[in-house]
Amino acid sequence: MVEVVFWGLVGLATGTGLLTAWTLGANSNSPPFAPAIGANAISTMRAAFLIGILAALGALTQGGSISETVGAGLIDGVAITSLAATAGLLTAAGFMAFGIYSGYPVPAAFATTGAMIGVGLSLGGSPTFETYQRILVFWALVPPVSGGLAYFTATILRRDDIPETVSVPLLAAVVGAIVANVELSIIPSPPGETQASLAGFGASVLNLPTVADIDPVTVAVTLGFALLSFKFIRGRTQVSADKGIRTFLVLLGSVVAFSSGGSQVGLATGPLENLYRAELGLPGLALLAVGAAGILGGAWMGAPRLLQATSREYAQLGVRRSIAALVPGFVIAQVAIALGIPISFNNIIISGVIGGGLAGGSAGVSRRKIGVTVTFWVVTLGTSVVIGFGVYRLFAAILG
């Protein structure tokens, strides 16, 4: 009987995690391609197909760090059980559903983090204040950093004295340089490390002496990626500025969708970390595969309708403001993945849209909605802790 209950809870927890991943795939992973659809650079169905593939790949190759933080880094002294994982995921999913119904997007990272802290405390665990401080500081920095980068990017793209055959390829070069340093689990890594970047792999293979603590191979690979990206997009923009911008939007949407998968899957798989690794003895890749499958299904089945709606909004923003919103999204998502910090992709994109909008004046930026949205985010974080605590106690009481 005990074994039946255990496997029933495993199935329930896994199903809840899959549902959460499906929701993330349908919602949080969709915005990156909306600008490209709005600019008629790619069709809606093709974009949904690419989102699913890229986000799932990002989940498999980059999702481990955030999954570990959510599953084991928020509470000390206790392990998250299958019942606690189910309680936390259901609480977070409830908040996200309410956000969709109300029209104010609830950050999945806020809801999931708060819910898992709540169930962990309900289990008798101790708070990890150092981790909370690190996460809260990062979250607090996201709006000004994302908005500031978007404002700076939009300002450059709007300047008449900088032609688009220069400004757009320069942005492509920046993105290419970052891609060279993105750490992936599929790249052979040095002993003691789980991930490595292409630039880092090249440095480890050649093993040249450093100059002022700077590895020349890392610099060379980074500059090589930047140069190739610059030349490719510049060639496209020289043929046609519109064609070059549309190409860049598709490529930028691709790397952002990949990053969103890596940054979001941990919100669905993190609560299941102890269950899969300690209790079932499965490798971390198996858990990430579950999350990737959910994200893939959500993107393919749920993203097309959302893409059609959001693409109209991005079409009103224009291609320059859209690019300005997505570049910070890529940068911040990769920093968060490297640090293992759960983030809300909607938070990053919304901040970027606001920053890009301010570059052209305050048109389209509602101060009231910004204030209500921020208040909604803060309330989400606080109340999800309380509700997560209560939901687990309720489940535990029902099951004795």
283-315 residue pLDDT tens: 888 999 999 999 999 889 877 777 776 666 665
Nearest one of 253, 255, 235 to 244, comparing CA atoms: 235
Collapse the DSSP code of 196 into the 3-class scheme (helix H, G, I; strand E, B; otherwise coil) and give the result.
Answer: strand
Collapse the DSSP code of 214 into the 3-class scheme (helix H, G, I; strand E, B; otherwise coil) and give the result.
Answer: strand
Q: Which residues pair with 261 in a beta bridge?
A: none
In a domain, 183, yes or no: no
In a domain, 11, yes or no: yes
In a domain, 78, yes or no: yes
Say what the pLDDT of residue 390 is.
95
> pTM, whole model, 2 decimals?
0.89
Taking 70 as the pLDDT cut, the residues of the chain under it are: 1-2, 100-105, 192-194, 309-317, 359-370, 400
Say what the pLDDT of residue 380 is.
87
In a domain, 286, yes or no: yes
In a domain, 34, yes or no: yes
Say what the pLDDT of residue 366 is.
58
Cα dist from 258 to 26, 190, 264, whole Å: 14, 24, 10
Helix (H) or strand (E) holding 248: helix 241-269
Q: Which two tokens stand for residue 209?
A: 């002496």
Nearest one of 389, 294, 335, 345 to 109, comparing CA atoms: 345
Q: How far is the C-alpha of 93 from the C-alpha of 88, rounded, in Å?
A: 9
Q: How far is the C-alpha of 121 from the C-alpha of 112, rounded, in Å?
A: 14
In a domain, 219, yes or no: no
In a domain, 249, yes or no: no
Phi-psi region of 364 (alpha: psi -120 to 50; beta: other; left: phi over 0): left
In a domain, 316, yes or no: yes
Q: Which residues pair with 127 in a beta bridge?
A: 75
Its domain, for residue 38, covers 2-155+259-398
Say what the pLDDT of residue 365 is.
53
Q: Which residues pair with 126 in a beta bridge?
A: 76
Into how many domains does the chain fold? Answer: 1
